[in-house]
Amino acid sequence: MSTRPSAGQTKRRVASLAAALMAPTPLWAQAAPLDPAGSNVIFNAVAWLEGTLLGNVATGVAVIAVAATGLMMLTGRIDWRRGATVILGCFIVFGAAAIVAGIRSLAGT
């Protein structure tokens, strides 16, 4: 006759096994690599894209777009809601770094 463990004993064994597997070990103390292999190419591409989208040319185009939109709003050629959307979009694009920094400071990270 074999003695079969009860359901409660099986659950305790599974829980103790899971706890043993998830317990911190000296291997966890090793630092994970911050930059995986090949990430430098991706980082450079993102930095180029950011420089292009937020550089001098983009800033000049945004200034002209806001000025043209404001003039069109004042002369009645475009409704105020659409004009405010264009101007708000420019503020969000160029202020994204400040917005993210504010959210992170509120989150405490």
Per-residue pLDDT of 37-94, as tens digits, reads: 667 888 888 888 888 878 888 888 888 988 999 999 999 999 989 998 988 888 888 8
Whether the predicted model's global pTM rises above the 0.85 cut: no
Give the separation between CA 11 and CA 98, rounded to whole angstroms: 50
Report which of residues 75 and 97 the model is more confident about: 75
Distances (CA, A) of 78 to 12, 64, 87: 70, 16, 13
Ranges 24-28, 57-61, 66-70, 97-101, most confident: 66-70
Q: What is the pLDDT of residue 89?
A: 87
Provide the 8-state DSSP code for 3.
P
Closest to 87 measured CA to CA, from 69, 106, 61 = 69
